[in-house]
Amino acid sequence: MNEALLSLKDVSQVYTSNGRTNEALKHIDLTIYHGECLGIVGQSGSGKSTLGKMISLIDQPSWGEIYYKGNKIEFRDRYIYPIRKDIQYIFQEPIGAFSPRKKIKKFLLEPYINFKLCPKKEALAQIEYCLKQVGLDQSCLNKYPHQLSGGQLQRIVIARTLSLSPKLIVCDEMTSALDVIVQDEILTLMKKLQVENQLTLVFISHDLSLVQRFCDRTMVLLEGEQVVCLDSQNFGTSTHPYIQLLKDSIL
């Protein structure tokens, strides 16, 4: 087994609204290993996206601890800012990542400016390289988001993510808004990029069959609780009733 990249120890997340408490995650223990693709699967409301935001350090857990490369995460700006570029998040709807008033070039330049990675001229050369990695070219740079397809926009989101040379990418239902053919193209692309860039991937989905095909291990969530985490190939023989329910839902 590869070395641990990120670990969650007894992590829980509680939200309070209008005097009501919702325990979205309950005592999660999880280790993500360098270079693997981990699937997180469950029905709507199971806590998948909440867990994704814990893993990507977007949200701070109500209690529990998170470790990155063996070091405990302290949720303070000065401490966590250098880690931000290492852990990136790709959301479900690619169009939601874009401002309709900004051209693609400005969208792709933002990480270089925010993290002061390199001068603009050098950044543009890097952007062209990242676009090539995802199967696009510089012809899209002067276009607006509405001029591109959903599949093209998702590729541009991936290119922007690659520009930061991340160690871990959380993909939250990243293909669910795309048609089946484009879904397969994006999944094939992500597997290729994982190998080429030595990435660790967390793939969140409600589709067990897709996760089994794409991921090395799969974690199943039910109402915020961890049901099981197994090698993906072993799910075919699992008799757990909730896993059987997930299987039946895709037949």
pLDDT in tens, the chain (251 residues): 589 999 999 999 999 988 889 899 999 999 999 999 999 999 888 999 999 999 999 999 999 999 999 999 999 878 888 898 999 999 888 888 899 999 999 999 999 998 888 888 899 999 999 999 999 999 999 999 999 999 999 999 999 999 999 999 999 999 887 888 999 999 999 999 999 999 999 999 988 888 888 899 999 999 999 998 888 877 767 777 888 787 776 54
- In the sheet with 4-17, reading across from the earlier edge strand, the strands are 20-33, 4-17, 63-68, 71-72
B/e letters for 164-176, b = 16+ CB within 10 Å, e = fewer, are bebbbbbbbbbbe
CA separation for the pair 190, 182 (Å, rounded): 12
Is the pTM higher than 0.85? The answer reads yes
Query: DSSP string spanning 157-200?
Result: HHHHHHTT--SEEEEESTTTTS-HHHHHHHHHHHHHHHHHHT-E
Report pLDDT for 250. Answer: 56
DSSP H or E segment with residue 31: strand 20-33
